[in-house]
Structure 1
Amino acid sequence: MTNQRARVGYLLPTREQDLAGEHEPGRLVAQARRAEELGLDSVWAGDSPVTRPRADPLLLMAAVAQATERVALGTAVLLPALRHPILLAHQLATLDRLSDGRLIAGMGGGFPIQATEDQFTAIGVGFARRIGRMEESIEAMRRLWSGHAVSYQGEHFAFEDVRLAPPPSRPGGPPIWLAGSGEAALRRVGRIGDGWLPYPTEAATYAKERAVIGDDRPVTPALYATLCLDDDPEKARERLRTSIERYYNAPLEFIASIQALFAGTAQDAAAWLNGYIDAGARHLVIRLATDDHEADLEQLADRVLPLVQEAQ
């Protein structure tokens, strides 16, 4: 393995709160603070205002920025095509300032299913043009983050002499990590991304796709992975099924065919994650499939994290 330690982050259960009928963002902030205390490197929040309702990730992370000191704050992943780049650049720059430069802007186009298309329709954005809008948004936001008056002319967005304040903490703005697999998405990561946040089902696939991105630009290779931990692997599998099917309203088998999911013991989970680290992953974003996020966060930190770090 490389000498560079892989970092491990925790996805805040914003979607799970809504599914449980609980609307307590303050509890999510407390979980972020606890993740920092337990030694995790980052905390993350997802984005899906209509398809899979949850707390707004940027407002939530503004609160987390004030409650923590060390952990990186990420979006896994934000849908920039749903927003105008001037407004989104303004929000992200302010959040980067609030967090003293700890923000990671994970972004994606939105998974091509009917529910996602319905979300775009509800907000009044053409679903078929979402990738072009995302690419233009990234280009426009990077210009806007300069702190100077800038102009932009694209197919989807155009503006003249716009200056935003405050500028981000870091010159050039927060790093942008792109989700996605497949030739076009991987080439896009290599061309405009600062990081890559996919969820391929096997470490071997991860290694092959990482090679497609290439090394023309520095790109942080990350991984979005779901764990269901239990000393009884069979129970873990059933709990994973319940959690995933409730989350996506789709069969476990379908989600497992496209996403990195693991159910089993903490020791086996660490070995599975280490396979991705061997394949090149350097930042793991962990979603826990559980009904007790506080307890399983402790288990992740106490029983999985040491084995991942030990292997490195």
Structure 2
Amino acid sequence: MSVRASGSAAALVCVRPPGWVNEAGGGIADLLGWVEEAEELGFDGVFVGDRLLGEATVAKGSVVYGASMIDVTVIMAAMAARTRRLLIGSLVLVFPYRHPVQLAKTFASLDALSGGRVVLGAGIGWNTREFAALDIPHAGRAGRFEEALGVVRALWTGRPVDHDGEAWSFQDVQVLPAPARAGGPPVWLASFSPAQALDWAPDDLPVASLRQLDRVGRLADGWVPLVYSASHRRRISPETLAAAWRRVLDSAEQHGRTREDLDFVMSDWCYVLDGPESEERCRSALARFFRGSWEDALRTYTIGTAAEVVEQVRAQTAGIDRVDAYILTPLSDETDQLRRLVAVAEELRAPRA
């Protein structure tokens, strides 16, 4: 199920509000106003992340993100209520943290409430501290994810469901209201994690990542790869990204699916510069959650003038046959950044030469 309008050649351009909060505070009060402005400016959707604890760390304890976010489904409901046409999505929701019946109910309700505007961006999770806090095993999460996704999609039909699986068993369970769209919201799957270096050669992807990519080809309506590593201060190469996408398409073909069954979604964090003062504002915004130097930030994120941001995004996706949607997250919650992304969006919607 593609999110692109039928027959449209233009890519969707969506945004993700920064929404970071920590002990020093955050932009909670202005978040919904930011989303309303995004709709007024003509963006196609808004997406929000799923962070449980006050900060995200890797196994050895080093901080990846020194802040957290508002609960993902709470803010999605608020966004749906305050907008009329925007897609409302998660990027990404950690499936194994929730029971599949609960997930099916929540997202069916969100889709019904929004009039069929929800996208479920999903992942298996990587933050071991969050799994531990919930007393959920980190091991085996991929298998539980696949089982849960099957349960959710079955319950989205609105019919009673019997299920006898490895992780869950139940009989005659029905979820109502059903989603606004038959079959439920599109499900986009993520790959890779901020804890990985993303420094692989195109022909040397890790075995675990290959399994992820095969899963995307089998099960997903879209693929949203992580293209940067905040912990390692670098980005995946365009060649490796293209090789990973070919693996997804190969998997899809092996399971009787075609390119039109899958969206490629380019998600990136960016800041549009307009002079020396804007660089200082960008540095200040980064200091709220990013533990690295300015040079680290330039290697990790997409920072430059509007034309340079477009050029960098185009370069990152040079090996992709077609980008169906972009999701741009400003590194700062300045409203000015959202407005500056309008020019970026206009360029990205145009087909590549």
TM-score bracket, shorter-length normalisation:
0.7 to 0.9
Q: Which among 199, 202, 205 is matched to residue 240 of structure 2? A: 205
User: Structure 1 CA distance, aligned partners of 2:292 and 2:132?
Assistant: 21
Instruction: Determine the structure 1 residue equivalent to 2:334.
Output: 293
147-156 vs 184-193, which moves further: 147-156
Structure 2 match to 1:142: 153
- Map 1:262-277; keep pairs closer than 5 Å: 262-276=302-316
Does the 8 A contact of 1:232 with 1:264 survive in 2? Answer: no
Identity of aligned residues (%): 32
Q: CA RMSD in A?
A: 2.6
1:60 maps onto 2:75 in alignment: yes
SS in 1 for 2:70: coil
| Alignment map for 1:133-212 (pairs within 5 Å) | 133-181=144-192, 182-200=209-227, 201-212=236-247
Post-superposition Cα deviations, 1:202-240, rounded to whole Å, max 9, x if no partner, equal 33333222111115331111011011221358974x766
* 2:100 is equivalent to residue 89 of structure 1: no
Asked if the contact 2:13–2:349 (Cα under 8 Å) also holds between the matched residues in 1, the reply is no
Pair 1:9 & 2:24 matched: no
Distance 1:108 1:240, change over 3 A: farther
In the TM superposition, structure 1's runs of 4+ consecutive aligned residues that sit over 6 Å from their partners are 250-257
Match of 2:266 among 223, 229, 236: 223
Give the structure 1 partner of residue 202 of structure 2: none
In the alignment, which of 120, 124, 127 is matched to residue 105 of structure 1? 120
Asked if structure 1 preserves the Cα contact closer than 8 Å seen for 2:10 and 2:351, the reply is: no
AA aligned to 2:241 is Y
Query: What is aligned with 2:33?
Result: 30
| 1:251 Cα deviation after fit | 7.0
Secondary structure of 2:157's match? coil
What one-letter code is carried by the residue in structure 1 that aligns with 2:10?
Answer: R
| Structure-2 separation of matches of 1:293 and 1:231 | 13
SS at match of 1:89: helix
Aligned residues: 300
Deviation at 1:129, TM superposition (A): 2.1
CA distance 1:22–1:239, shift in 2 (3 Å):
closer
1:150 Cα offset (Å)? 0.3
- Specify whether residues 206 and 244 from structure 1 end up closer, same or farther in structure 2 by C-alpha distance, changes over 3 A only: farther
Alpha carbons of structure 1 residues 234 and 68: separation in structure 2 relative to 1, 3 Å: closer
- Cα offsets for 1:30-60 (capped at 9, x unmatched): 2111111111111010001114532111111
Letter in 2 for 1:185: Q
Contact 1:13 1:293 in 2 (8 A): no
Pair 1:41 & 2:44 matched? yes
Q: In 2, Cα distance between the equivalents of 1:142 and 1:93?
A: 10
List gaps (5 residues or longer) in structure 1.
none
Change in Cα spacing, 1:127 to 1:254, as seen in structure 2 (3 Å) is farther
TM-score of the superposed pair, with normalisation by structure 2:
0.77
Contact 2:18–2:331 (CA<8 Å) still a contact in 1? no
Corresponding residue number in structure 1 for 2:84: 69
Deviations 1:47-104 (A, max 9, x none): 0111453211111111111211111111000001001011111000000001111100
Q: How far apart are the structure 2 equivalents of 1:298 and 1:23?
A: 17
* Alpha-carbon displacement from aligned partner over 1:131-177 (angstroms, at most 9, x marks no partner): 22211111110111111110112211221110011011111111110
**Aligned equivalents of 2:175, 2:293: Cα separation in 1:** 45
In structure 2, stretches of 5+ residues that fail to align are 1-6, 57-66, 193-208, 228-235
1:247 to 281, 289, 303: 289
Which is further off, 267-276 or 216-225? Answer: 267-276
SS of 1:298's equivalent in the other structure is: helix
8 Å Cα contact 1:46/1:77 also seen in 2: yes
- The answer to whether the Cα contact below 8 Å between 1:93 and 1:169 also exists between their aligned partners in 2 is yes
Q: What pairs with 1:105-124 in structure 2 (closer than 5 Å)?
A: 105-111=120-126, 116-124=127-135
Distance in 2 between the 1:311 and 1:59 partners?
35
**1:137 to 1:255, Cα distance in 2 relative to 1, 3 A:** farther
Q: CA deviation at 1:311?
A: 5.4
Superposition deviation, residue 307 in structure 1: 2.4
